[in-house]
């Protein structure tokens, strides 16, 4: 290659490197220094939504620190997660990809651009644009799971455990559901199964047809079940509590049913 061609090629490479460097400078870097006055807790999100009267969209760099208590690894939820801190729980909805978060991750989320919305009684944190996991969400620590609240069905209806991890004690699936599976294998929707305690108090267990355990048979005994408690409020105002199972391994129903001798 002659000297003239070498000089032209060298000049071209220099120009390209310049434009690449400029493009990188224009990117917004991740926020590394957090303003303590702009750190929110989940209870604050509930209050902000209540004060707005509808949905609320953040337009500034407010931060939320929380732990992932349910991811979408088993397919029972998809492109979403449930977060919890010491003040409450919330549904992180419309993620850009499946497997974006891991159960037990303690994360920091930049709320700029996020919407808080009450969906029929369940509070959702929605990112309408792609959530950049290098900038908007940063894992602070891995494998720091939160222990579930141990409750009864009655506790759910008298307390406030929305979007939180719970273990419900002393329950069984109603007899008519013990011949069914959690959901419809090969289906395209969600299915409800009903659990009850020995006093007849009920809660819905809601499972996706896309879950890994959709075709698993419902256990027929009594015992404890762990999952995410959510609520659905009908138009008339009635609230129904639901449980979303993370894995069948947390459905421990091997004791005698109510009334058995």
Q: What are phi and psi of 45, to 5 degrees?
A: -65, -40
37 pLDDT band, cuts 50/70/90, is very high
Examine the pLDDT at 236 and tell me if it is beyond 70: yes
C-beta separation of 109 from 58 below 8 A: no
Return all residues near 192 (Cβ < 8 A) that are at least 6 apart: 204, 205, 206, 242
Specify the 3-state DSSP secondary structure of 175: helix
Given a cut of 60, is residue 163 above it in pLDDT?
yes
Q: Are 190 and 207 in contact (CB under 8 A)?
A: yes
pLDDT for residue 243: 97
- Nearest to 146, CA basis, from 204, 77, 76, 89: 89
pLDDT tens, residue by residue, 243-252: 999 999 999 9
**Reported confidence tier of residue 129, pLDDT bands at 50, 70, 90:** low
Q: Strand pairing of 39-40 and 63-70?
A: parallel
pLDDT digits (tens, 9 = 90+) for 45-88: 999 999 998 899 999 999 999 999 999 999 999 989 999 999 99
Q: What pLDDT does residue 133 have? A: 59
**Confidence check: pLDDT of 15 > 50:** no
**192-231, pLDDT tens digit by residue?**
999 999 999 999 999 999 999 999 999 999 999 999 999 9
Beta bridge partners of 138: 108
C-alpha R_g of the chain: 24
Q: Tell me the CA distances in angstroms from 56 to 59, 127, 170, 230, one per residue in order.
A: 10, 12, 39, 21
Query: Between 16 and 97, whose confidence is greater?
Result: 97
pLDDT number for residue 164: 98
**Residue 29: CB partners within 8 Å, gap ≥ 6?**
135
Q: Out of 25-29, 96-100, 215-219, which region has the weakest mean confidence (pLDDT)?
A: 25-29
Map out the domains of the chain with their CATH numbers: 36-141 (2.40.50.140), 149-255 (2.40.50)
Task: Considering only residues 55 and 20, tell me which one the structure prediction assigns the higher pLDDT.
Answer: 55
Residue 56 CB burial class (10 angstroms; 0-12, 13-18, ≥19): middle
pLDDT at 159 over 80: yes
pLDDT averaged over every residue in the chain: 87
């Amino acid at each position: 290659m002659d000297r003239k061609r070498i000089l032209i090629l060298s000049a071209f490479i220099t120009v390209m490197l310049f434009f690449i460097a400029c493009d990188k400078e224009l990117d917004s870097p991740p926020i590394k220094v957090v303003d303590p006055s702009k750190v929110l807790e989940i209870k604050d999100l509930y209050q902000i939504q209540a004060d707005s009267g509808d949905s609320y969209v953040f337009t500034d760099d407010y931060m939320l620190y929380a732990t992932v208590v349910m991811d979408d690894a088993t397919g029972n939820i998809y492109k979403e997660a449930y977060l919890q801190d010491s003040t409450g729980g919330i549904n992180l909805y419309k993620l850009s990809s499946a497997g974006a978060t891991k159960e037990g991750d303690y994360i920091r989320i930049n709320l700029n651009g996020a919407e808080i919305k009450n969906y029929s009684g369940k509070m959702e944190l929605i990112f309408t644009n792609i959530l950049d996991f290098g900038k908007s969400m940063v894992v602070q620590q891995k494998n720091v799971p939160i222990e579930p609240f141990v409750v009864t069905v009655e506790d759910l209806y008298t307390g406030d455990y929305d979007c939180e991890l719970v273990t419900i004690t002393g329950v069984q699936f109603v007899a008519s559901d013990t011949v069914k599976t959690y959901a419809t294998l090969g289906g395209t929707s969600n299915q409800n199964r009903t659990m009850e305690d020995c006093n007849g108090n009920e809660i819905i267990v809601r499972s996706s047809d896309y879950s890994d355990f959709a075709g698993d048979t419902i256990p027929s005994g009594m015992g404890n079940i762990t999952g995410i408690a959510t609520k659905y409020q009908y138009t008339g105002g009635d609230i129904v509590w639901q449980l979303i199972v993370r894995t069948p391994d947390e459905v421990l129903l091997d004791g005698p049913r109510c009334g058995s001798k």
